[in-house]
Homo-oligomer: A and B are copies of this chain.
Amino acid sequence: MARQVKIGLPKGSLQESTFDLFRRAGFDIRLSSRSYFPAIDDPELEAVMFRAQEMSRYVADGVLDAGITGYDWIVENGSDVVEICELAYSKATSNPARWVLAVPNEASVNRAEDLAGGIVATELVNVTKKYFADKGVDVKVEFSWGATEVKARLVNAIVELTETGTSLRANNLRIIDTIVTSTTRFFANRQAWQDKFKREKMENISILLNAAIEARSKVGLKMNIRKDGLDAILKILPAEKSPTVSALADPDFVAIEVIIDDKIERSLVPNLKRAGASGVITYPLNKVIH
């Protein structure tokens, strides 16, 4: 039987995007509805679902060789693990997730210090306790099992995760400080990282996942062009990447192909059209390696 790397995947809000990422990275991965052990078409890999909150504990203990979870929970658990790479999943917003200290809009609280003697509800108990201890502010930090925003008016303040602040605003809460920012990490158990087979396998996974992440924000662009119009088109194309110019059977024409960022595509495509280009196509990519 093949040697294996045992990897923990996050159950919950990151689950679908993680599975999608592995699929785009080239793995066929499937999870039947009540199972916690996804089937994956790589005999060297065994996957198990864990909640983001508990993942790093089991990697640190050696129950898993590697895991994917947020930086916030690694710190909360105080887990001694090796970070392999950051994984930039989401492109909806450029803001990383933040755990913020928030109070009701109408509260007369403006700084952490104003909460002395009060109660703070949060799911991130240890990080929050350390934050207040570092400031020398005495508060009671109580564990909150979900729906923390609802508790903001029952206690004195909350520490809650936010990306865009939408949910906090909807609850009429005001952010007064950021406790910690967090992005998704791929990380390893210390012993596993010293094992040559496991380390190479984990590095390969890291390369494939990042190549798939990179490809998602890029497209391939092709067009054929008369040689005498080439310069005009090259001025419109983004400068940093030199396009592949290939010879065609008709010597008056060349084919141009270039990989561009999909945000540039949005302005480039209308401009190419305005510049009289035709026969322009863009196509999707699976992986991009710089």
Contact = CB atoms under 8 A, between A and B. Distances in A.
B215 A281 contact: yes
B273 A280 contact: no
A17 B38 CA distance: 19
A2 interface: no
A197 interface: no
A142 B248 contact: no
B32 A270 contact: no
A244 to B, nearest CB: 6
Contacts of A207: 269-270, 273
A54 B288 contact: no
A82 interface: no
A265 interface: yes
Contact of A289 (B27, B146, B215, B277): B277
Contacts of A42: 266
Interface stretch (A96-104, A129-137, A174-182, A255-263): A255-263
Specify the main secondary structure of chain A where it touches its partner.
Answer: mixed
Contacts of A63: 119, 154-155
A51 B146 contact: yes
Contacts of A27: 266
Interface string A266-277: 110110110001
A285 B288 CA distance: 16
A190 interface: no
Interface string A82-110: 00000000011100000000000000000
Interface in A54-77: 54, 57-58, 61, 63-64
Contacts of A51: 145-146
Contacts of A166: 32, 35
A280 B289 contact: yes
A35 B92 CA distance: 16
Contacts of A204: 266-267, 270
Interface string A127-162: 000000000000010111111001000110000000
B208 A270 contact: yes
Given A91-B41, A154-B63, A207-B270, A144 B54 contact: yes
Interface of A: 11, 25-28, 30, 32, 34-37, 39, 41-42, 48-51, 53-54, 57-58, 61, 63-64, 91-93, 119, 140, 142-147, 150, 154-155, 164, 166, 170, 172, 203-204, 207-208, 211, 215, 218-220, 224, 244-250, 254-255, 259, 262-263, 265-267, 269-270, 272-273, 277-290
Ranked nearest first, the 5 interchain pairs of A and B with the lowest CB-CB distance are A245-B249, A51-B145, A204-B270, A282-B286, A36-B150
Given A61-B155, A280-B287, 15 more contacts: A26-B269, A54-B145, A63-B155, A203-B270, A211-B269, A215-B281, A215-B282, A244-B248, A245-B249, A246-B246, A273-B289, A278-B289, A281-B286, A282-B286, A283-B285
